[in-house]
Amino acid sequence: MKRNNKLSLALHTLGHMAAAPDQAFTSEVIAGHNATNPVVVRRVLGLLRVQGIVVSGKGHAGGWRLAKPADSITVADVYAAIGAPLMTVEPLAAPDGCAIVAALHSTMTKAVAEAEAVLRRHFARRTIADLAQAMVQGAKKKGDLRFPPR
C-alpha cells in the first residue's frame, strides 16, 4: 500500500465483508488480500470500529465483521471515519500578514470546500452493498473472488 490508501483499503475490505456477512475476517487474511500488513489493517479498521461501522473479536472465532447491514453504510460514512480528506489546502507561511496571501487562502479554501462537498455528496449516494453487488456481478464473469474460507 503506497499512500493515503486507507480509504481504499477500508472500502475494499468492507465490500468483501458485505458479500460474506456471516464470516469473520482476520487482519492477516485482509492484509494478505491487500499486499499490506496486519497491523496496518487493524489501525484502519480500528477507525471504522470507533464509528460503529465494524466490530472486532479476539480469539478463535475472532476477526472483523460489519456492525450493521451493508446497505446502511455509505462510502461517505467510511470516508468520514478515516478522517483524512482527499483534498486539503494549507495556508502559505508568508511574512507580515501579506494581503494577497490572505486573499489567496480564502479563494483556495472556498474552492476546495466546494469540491469536497461534491465528493461527499457522491460518496453519500453509494453504499457498501453497492460495492458488494459489483463484486458478485464480477464473480459471475470471472469466477469466485471471495476470500478463501478460514
Partner DNA sequence: GAATCATGTAACTATGATAGTTACATGAAA
Partner DNA sequence: TTTCATGTAACTATCATAGTTACATGATTC
70's grid cell: 451493508
3-state secondary structure of 39: helix
In the block, residue with C-alpha cell 493515503? 4
Percent of residues in the chain assigned helix, strand, coil, to nearest 5? 60, 5, 35
For DNA, which stretch binds (CB under 7 A), given 14-22, 55-63, 101-109, 115-123?
A: 55-63
| Residues recorded for the chain | 150
Q: What separation in angstroms does the CA of 56 have from each of 15, 30, 62?
A: 16, 13, 7
For DNA, which stretch binds (CB under 7 A), given 10-18, 37-45, 108-116, 118-126?
A: 37-45
Q: Which does 64 bind (CB under 5 to 8 A by kind): DNA, its own copies, none?
A: DNA
The residue among 60 and 142 lying less far from its own copies, judged by its C-beta, is: 142
3-state secondary structure of 146: coil
* Residue 6 makes contact with DNA by CB under 7 A: yes
Q: Which does 51 bind (CB under 5 to 8 A by kind): its own copies, DNA, none?
A: none
Q: Which does 49 bind (CB under 5 to 8 A by kind): DNA, its own copies, none?
A: DNA
The residue among 57 and 91 lying less far from DNA, judged by its C-beta, is: 57
The residue among 37 and 133 lying less far from DNA, judged by its C-beta, is: 37
124: buried, middle or exposed (CB in 10 Å: 19+, 13-18, 0-12)?
middle
Task: Compute the distance between CA of residue 71 and CA of residue 97 in angstroms, rounded to an integer.
Answer: 49
Smallest distance, Å, CB 55 to its own copies?
A: 21
Q: Which does 111 bind (CB under 5 to 8 A by kind): DNA, its own copies, none?
A: its own copies
Interacting residues toward DNA by CB under 7 A: 1-6, 25-28, 35-40, 42-43, 45-46, 49, 56-64, 84, 150
